[in-house]
Amino acid sequence: MVPFEAAPAQLSGLRRAVRSQLGFWGVSAVAEEAELVVTELGANVIKHVGYDVAASLVLELRKGRVRLEIHDRSRALPASSAEVCAENDECGRGLHLIAAMAYDWGSARTATGKFVWCELSLKPAGREKRIGRAAAVLSAYRQSSSASELDSAALDETVTDVITDLLHWLALQGGDPDGALGRAQMHYEAEAA
């Protein structure tokens, strides 16, 4: 456990502690992601709990994952929904970025406050799984067209049709198509990096 006071100057120390511990464990491959996560979580404590409040970082190596937790004394859990953040363009971006990079994340209340946690996978990103699902969807769309193989322009148009159909479906379910597009873009950028 690494105690710290929530202040911008403390964030670089947290990043160093994370990088050092990950190096000690031999899992430096996720150091950049872990440093970004700890920076975002620490910045959220400063912004939403208070400047110079007492907090702590907990790192844990689990089977195939690294878990980072930031503990503070506030019992208010973070809100990441688009409805809560609708009036503030900056609201929730850090948590969306964490969600895009993380294997899983969440928050929980404790007897003295709360903690926000994030787990990063030590295995290669799930791109293969995503690419496989996308290929299956595109294959289904191709079956409904006359062409079995698509050239670059036709492939681009098919992908656009899939996305458009999903956005129409989401709107019909009461979802937020613009929010979904924004989150998808953040996930893509985080995974492609």
> pLDDT band at residue 158, thresholds of 50, 70 and 90?
confident
The whole-number average pLDDT for the span 90-117 is 81
Residues 88 and 135 in one domain: no
Among 121, 151, 183, which residue terminates a domain?
A: 121
Q: On the CB side of 86, how many CA atoms lie within 13 Å of its CA? A: 4
Residues 143 and 107 in one domain: no
Q: Position of tokens 């400047």?
A: 51
Residues 61 and 8 in one domain: yes
**Residue 148 in this model has a pLDDT that exceeds 50:** no
Domain extent, residue 87, equals: 2-121
**Residue 86 in this model has a pLDDT that exceeds 70:** no
- Range name among 4-8, 54-58, 64-68, 154-158 with the lowest pLDDT average: 154-158
- Cβ atoms of 70 and 60 closer than 8 Å: no
Give the other-Cβ count within 10 Å of 116's Cβ: 22
Counted domains in the chain? 2
Which one has a higher pLDDT value, 37 or 90? 37
User: pLDDT tens, 32-48?
Assistant: 889 989 999 999 899 88
**Residue 175 in this model has a pLDDT that exceeds 70:** yes
**Residue 178 in this model has a pLDDT that exceeds 50:** yes
SS3 call for 26: coil
Residues 152 and 109 in one domain: no
Which one has a higher pLDDT value, 5 or 131? 5
Angle 8-25/31-48 helices, nearest 10 degrees? 150
Which one has a higher pLDDT value, 54 or 132? 54
- Record the pTM: 0.60
Q: Pick from 82, 74, 68, 71: which is nearest to 36 by CA? A: 68
Among 88, 121, 154, which residue terminates a domain?
A: 121
Residues 149 and 93 in one domain: no
Residues 88 and 161 in one domain: no
**Residue 130 in this model has a pLDDT that exceeds 70:** no
Q: CA–CA separation, 166 vs 24, rounded Å?
A: 44
Taking the alpha carbons of 96, 99, 101, 107 in that order, is the dihedral positive or negative? positive
CATH of the domain at 41: 3.30.565.10
